[in-house]
Amino acid sequence: MIALNIAQIAHAVSGEVHLENGDTLDTVVSGAVDTDSRLIEPGGVFVAKPGEETDGHLFVDAAVERGAALALVERRVEASVTQILVPDVVEAIAALAREVVKTVKDAGDLRVVGITGSNGKTTTKNLLARILEGEGETVSPKASFNNEVGAPLTMLRVTGTTKYLVSEFGASAPGEIARLAGLVDPEVGVVLMVGMAHAGGFGGIEATFHAKSELVRALSAGGVAVLNADDARVAAMAPIAAEQGASVRWFGRGPTATDVRADDVVVTASGTSFTVTADGVSLPLRLRVLGEHHVMNALAAIAAATTFGVSLADAVARLETVEIAERWRMQPLGSERVRIINDAYNASPDSMAAALRTLAQITGPDERTVAVLGAMSELGEYAEEEHDRVGLLAVRLGIQRIVVVGDPARRMFLEAVAQGSWDNEAVFFSTADEAFDYLQGELRDGDRVLVKSSNSAGLRFLGDRLGESFS
């Protein structure tokens, strides 16, 4: 975080100061801000956030032991650290993030880009950050820090020398993206796709469209909306950009992707090769991140980066250094003998379909496809229908072994059986341990194994176990 004195921080968060340890209102604080006491470093700011399972106020002492210089609290605690008392610490860190970003913008040339979409946000964020890091100091979210807590914490990592801030905006309800984007006023907004992820929270696909379009509405006059030309709902956001006085930059694989486009896509087990054309310049790109669907994420990253003046050649060279999108996202594990693809950090109907198609595409004629599938979360009333669709798709793609794990995902198994996956081609297990024991005996040389589920299903750890077992 930039250096601010206690008075400035208290003013930004509208808090009540309780000084300790000889601090004054002029005492300067410049350490990192975090809600996890275990991650606090000397001089840092600890945010005592109440949670569903525990309460951050119980860990103020632990944060002090690690060197916290200041604590944001909702009630005073007995601890030898200056505290700023606020009604809501989540709202406080948002207000502090707004102040920090505005201060840096006013003093320098900080450029801000926001990314949203039903799928692909984290991968696109990582790809764009890799490109921009070659241009100057870049701050981007760790993992999927894209919610009401994670997004402000990322923003608070901005310093006086930061050139680019890449913000990832997730949401499970209307209004959340508008609120988060409003903290930083992005000049570039990237919308990847409108799909069924979190449809239960939004109330359907049209409500999801309106929620994702909040990022475009947050752009100011002179801003740029980077839109997926291949997604009709995203393309329909162009008039919204025009209303804001923002221009549109199109990316995609179809003929309407007039600014950044991919052609001649070839998918292999070691990555995806294609020709990228940006503003009339064409270059070959070999993306090592597994999955044809990541072509669109790469195009989005290129479209945003070139908006900032990055050359296509530099963007391509930097993207070719990326080996994986993120841990647990199409992460290759195991060995050439048994290849495990651990993609179990997140799942939606669209990302599940993309991962299954990738499995089918990268498996050779003498190899076997194995899909280990868990539940997709946050689908609400659409959950049963969408899980059925996944089971149907797995059969239609010819996946040779379908292993469904966890009671919430059972409909995938039932649909696969109903569609013809008999004779143990599809199996079901209630627990990951049972599935692991089965796979230990079932997997053989030449198998290509996809592990895919939402985070809540916990199959990412099953993927790790399988990767280690067959390494």
Q: Is 121 marked as a binding-site residue?
A: yes
Q: Which segments of 146-186 does DSSP mark as H helices, in order?
A: 150-155, 176-181
Pairing state of beta strands 164-168 and 138-139?
parallel
Contact 248, 227 (CB under 8 A): yes
Please report the DSSP string for 304-369 in residue order.
HHHHTT--HHHHHHHHTT---SBTTBSEEEE-SSEEEEEE-S---HHHHHHHHHHHHHH--TTSEE
**CA atoms of 125 and 113, how far apart (whole Å):** 10
Contact 155, 192 (CB under 8 A): no
**CA atoms of 235 and 395, how far apart (whole Å):** 32
Secondary structure class of 268 (helix, strand, coil):
strand
Q: Is 203 marked as a binding-site residue?
A: no
Instruction: For residue 307, give every residue at least 6 positions away whose Cβ sits within 8 Å of its Cβ, in sequence order, or none.
Output: 188, 224, 226, 249
Q: Is 82 marked as a binding-site residue?
A: no
Provide the b/e sequence for 111-145 (b: ≥16 CB within 10 Å). Answer: bbbbbbbbbbbbbbbbbbbbbbeebeebbbbeebb
Q: Is 142 marked as a binding-site residue?
A: no
Instruction: For residue 178, give every residue at least 6 positions away whose Cβ sits within 8 Å of its Cβ, in sequence order, or none.
Output: 214, 217, 218
The gap from C-alpha 223 to its chain's centroid, in whole angstroms, comes to 23
Secondary structure class of 217 (helix, strand, coil):
helix
Cα angle vertex 290, ends 284, 296, to 5°? Answer: 60
Q: Is 154 marked as a binding-site residue?
A: no
Backbone angles phi, psi at 291, to 5 degrees: 110, 125
Q: Is 120 marked as a binding-site residue?
A: yes
Instruction: For residue 194, give every residue at least 6 positions away whose Cβ sits within 8 Å of its Cβ, in sequence order, or none.
Output: 117, 118, 205, 208, 209, 212, 231, 233, 234
Dihedral angle over CA of 458, 460, 466, 471, nearest 10: -160
Residue 188: which region, alpha, beta or left (left: phi > 0; alpha: psi -120 to 50)? beta
What is the residue type of 65? E
Q: Is 117 marked as a binding-site residue?
A: yes
Contact 412, 391 (CB under 8 A): yes
What is the residue type of 378? E
Bind-site residues: 117-123
Bind-site residues for ATP: 117-123
